Amino acid sequence: MHLTELPYRTLAIVRGTDRDAALRTVLVLAEEGITAAEVSLTTPDALWVIEQARRELGPHATLGAGTVLTAADAARAADAGASFLVTPGLGDDLRRHPVPELPLLIGALTPSEVIAANEYGALAVKLFPASLGGPGYLKALRDPFPGVPFVPVGGIDAASALAYLAVGAVAVGVGSPLIGDAAGGGDLNALRARAADWRTALTEEIAA
């Protein structure tokens, strides 16, 4: 999994209230070119959503599980077909127990948490919640951690995505500004429109 090669440098975060709507959301995003998605395990029947999306999208799709809190969560997500795992932080259970050998995005906010995530072997540090410090905080973190890949998550819209990428984020994780209410049964045409707007905004940045 190469974070700098994600389409539009974007990881879509699908956190829904309805399993069928969440599945439709993942599939519509893929149709619209936003092909990297994580399904939060807080979504009802999230493992079913991952299983079905994997069947639809094939073995090479960038499809992961989010809100992974324990080694058991990680194992179940891997069995369901997740190709990467995302945690909001690094808890003791994950430290103490073996997890599947899948790429991990580990949540961190403070310098000590960044060090812990990096020592654990994270593919990237999920800067969360990024909205607390904004792009300026990421810029400050990159001074002592120039080699750590950061993926800001939390309160990311198109404007802030561009700002984070400008100060060195390798990708951004985006939830409701892109997903809206689609994963709860909302209008899929509106989702397609938001995806088109997102593609336009991020394409201009990447081409710049």
Across the chain, where does the E strand assignment appear?
A: 10-14, 36-40, 62-66, 85-87, 104-108, 124-127, 150-152, 172-174
> Catalytic residue among 126, 139, 204, 205, which?
126
Per DSSP bridges, beta strands 85-87 and 36-40 are unpaired
- 126 noted as active-site residue: yes
Instruction: Note the residue count of the chain.
Output: 208
> Catalytic residue among 5, 38, 56, 139, which?
38
- 31 noted as active-site residue: no
pLDDT over 70 at 19, yes or no: yes
Element (H, E) at 46: helix 46-57
Domains of the chain listed by start with CATH number:
3-207 (3.20.20.70)
Share of the chain above pLDDT 90, in %: 93
Over the stretch 154-203, which tens digit does the pLDDT of each residue have? 999 999 999 999 999 999 999 999 999 999 999 999 999 999 999 999 98
User: Rounded to whole angstroms, how far apart are CA atoms 162 and 183?
Assistant: 25
Over the stretch 91-142, which tens digit does the pLDDT of each residue have? 999 999 988 999 999 999 999 999 999 999 999 999 999 999 999 999 999 9
What does the DSSP 8-state code read for residue 153?
Answer: B
- Span of 2-11, 23-32, 58-67, 193-202 with lowest mean pLDDT: 2-11
**Token code pair at residue 185:** 């049964």
The DSSP bridge partners found for residue 66 are 40
What does the DSSP 8-state code read for residue 181?
Answer: T
* Rg of the chain on CA atoms, in Å: 16
Q: At what angle do helices 46-57 and 19-31 cross, to 10 degrees?
A: 30
